[in-house]
Structures are given as structure tokens and as C-alpha cells.
Copies of this chain bind each other. A is one copy, B any other.
Amino acid sequence: MSRFDLSLLEHAPRVPGKPRHKTREVRVGDRVIGGQNPVAVQSMTTSDTFDVEATVKQIHALEEAGCELVRVTVPKPEDAGALSAIKGRIGIPLICDIHFDYKMALAALDHPVDKIRINPGNINKANDPTHDRFRQVVRKAKSRGIPMRIGVNAGSLERDLCEKYGFPCPPAMVESALRYIEVAESEGYHDIIVSLKSSDVLVAVEAYRLFAQLADYPTHIGITEAGKPPYAVTKSAAGLAPILLDGIGDTIRISLLGDPVPEIAAAYDILQATQRRVRRPELIACPTCGRLAIDLEKIIAELEQRLSGRRLPVKISVLGCVVNGPGEAREADIGIAAGNGKGMVYRNGEEVRRVDEKDIVEALMEEVARWESENAGKIAAANPTRPGELEGLGRRKLPVVAG
């Protein structure tokens, strides 16, 4: 008899991970955000939007990196005037970003945009209980069939909510979002995506969790003002992983200072690590320690180079020690547990052969080719450019391993 309550363990879920939070679907161009659709990766240009050449060039670079939706700022009439030309030359949905001036929102909606992002807290006239300016934008978006992101930001919350809650805390942010959702709903408009951003990880995590308890609109997740990599990527992962593991988040943007292209890889890395969108080979390498018996760094580098750009949701473990090696290697789709110049190759948890150290990379690549030929369905499901992508493909019941 244990002094611990083992019944808690016996009743605990064995396959970890929460289901995706149920949200309604919102169509953005030819993509659908929310529901069971893949968490969409987006970014934002840094060019002057009216500079069509520069903006299109940056969007093409983002598309190349895997960006699935792109946002451009529209502060002036000439920026709105450029939207049609930009839209005609890019392959992904175009989002216009509006601040302060509701007239710019109305102007932008005359152009072929796929979504509009506004922060109602800075669009409305102060102390207007009718929210007339916001209503005008909602009505026009509705008549044009264009969805809207209501982008609440801790830094620009309405004064009455700051006073009610004392400071821009998570419940104040959520009440702000719900307030504008209700105004929009009163206009019969439901094509809404919500963000609740803060530069404070704890505030953002709590705001998204609270919102998900109260509403079923899809969410755009991100940490504002994260700064420069590498800290900004670590901070974004720290802030978004707790949300994603709770099943929350339908579209993601990583805010980095500087070139937006690295935002895309960072977003996919976070989705990969949280298994919300497994696209790449997951290479598991043993942490280095004095136990290392083969040149693991060289093997990993060569393997990474040969697998670079391959969109295969396969889990490969390369372990250079005999300690955790056999167990961990068996947990992967393909594994090597190596030591003393030899490698044991595992496939789906079963040892299939032994090879010399110099042949390890080649043996693993042969296994990858075999896995690829046997998993066409999985691979197609992991790499759609349209809705329907499956999530968490890496997750499966694992074989029993020895102690």
C-alpha cells in the first residue's frame, strides 16, 4: 500500500494534451480560422504600405517562409489606395491594420481586403456609450462580407475598465473584448476573431484563458513588444505554449523587432514543440554529457542538412549513449541508439538492424525514405495549404519499453 493516492494516477489521462478549445469558424479569404482548422501562421509587413513594390516584395519573402496571412498597416489614404494593387500580386489573404481613425477603417473597407484589424479602444470617441464609430466600421465590414479582428491591447484599454478593475489586468481586457463583441452582435455581425495582447506573459496567458471560458470566437495569439531574438522568441514561446497546450489559439503571430521573416520560423517552432502543428521531422538528440560515445553533433548536423525543408511529420531519435538510448529510440518512429562505434536502428519501436557509426546517417535516411513511402496519408495531412490539416500527428500510443 502506498501512502500516496495512486488512484489519481490510475484515473489520469494517459495520452497527454488537451483537445482544441471549440471555436466558431471565421473565413478569411480562402482560409478558415477557428474550429478544427490548423493554427494559421501570420506576420506583418514593416514597409510603407503605399510603397507597393516594397510591400509586395516583403510579402513574397514571408510567403516563401510559410506565412499564411499577412497584415499591412493603413494609416493614410494612400495606403488604402495601394491595397488593391498589393492584393492582386500576392497569394495569401491580406489584412488591413487600422488605428485611431475610423474613417481609415471605412476607407480600407472599400478595397479588396480579406480581414480588418481594429482596436476599438482607440477607434471610439471617448465617452460615447453608443460606440457609434465602431458600429459604422462593423456595419461596413458586414455589408462587404469582411471579417474583423477585435484587437484588445493592455496598453490601450478604455479608461472606465481601467477604473473598474484598477489597472489593465486580464479581466479588464476580456471585458473590453466582450463589450465590442456585443456591439458587433447587436449589428448581426459574427465574423470576429479576438486578440488580447500584452507584453507581460502572465497577463496575456491569463487573459486568453479567461476569454476562452466565456466565448467561442476564435483567437489570434501573440505577445506584444517581445523585442529581439533570441529572448523575444523565448518569451513568445513561454507566453504562447501555456495557451496552446490548453487548446487555445487559432492563428498566431510572433512579434519580433526587425525583419518579419524570422517570425514565421519562430511561430512554426512553437507550434511544433506544443504539437499543435507537427510539420517537420522532429529530431530528438541526446543532450551532451560525458556519457557521449559517438560524434553526435556531426551526425545531427548532417541529418539536419539532408532533411532540411522536408515536410515530414516523422519523429527521429538519435541518441549517442547507451543510458537513455534504447528506451528513447523506441519511442520515435525511427531511432538510433548508438555507442562504441555501432548503432542500433529502431523502426516503430522495434530494433531492425545494427550498423557501423559511419553508416548511421545513411541508415536513417533509408528509414526516412521507407517511412515516407508508407505514410503518404499522414504527410499529406500535415502539409495542407487549405483547411483540414490534422493536428498532433506525432502523438500515438507508444510501445512498451524495457526498464
Q: Taking beta carbons and an 8 Å cutoff, which residues of A are in contact with B? A: 2-6, 8-10, 12-17, 44-49, 72-73, 75, 79, 97, 99-100, 119, 121-122, 124, 126, 153-163, 165-172, 174-175, 178-179, 182, 185, 199-203, 205-206, 210, 213-215, 224-231, 233-235, 237-242, 244-245, 255-258, 260, 266, 269-270, 272-275, 283-292, 296-297, 300, 304, 317, 319, 323-328, 330-331, 394-395, 397-403
Contacts and interface: CB of A to CB of B under 8 A. Distances in A.
Contacts of A290: 45-49, 72-73, 75, 79
A256 B234 CA distance: 14
The 9 closest A-B pairs by CB, nearest first: A155-B327, A255-B287, A155-B328, A73-B290, A238-B241, A158-B403, A237-B237, A9-B171, A16-B206
A216 B91 CA distance: 54
Contacts of A215: 4
Given A166-B14, A227-B284, A275 B201 contact: yes
A401 B17 contact: no
Contact of A242 (B178, B245, B296): B245
Most chain B CB within 10 A, of A206, A226, A289, is at: A289
A225 B287 contact: yes
A402 B245 CA distance: 33
Given A75-B291, A182-B2, A225 B168 contact: no
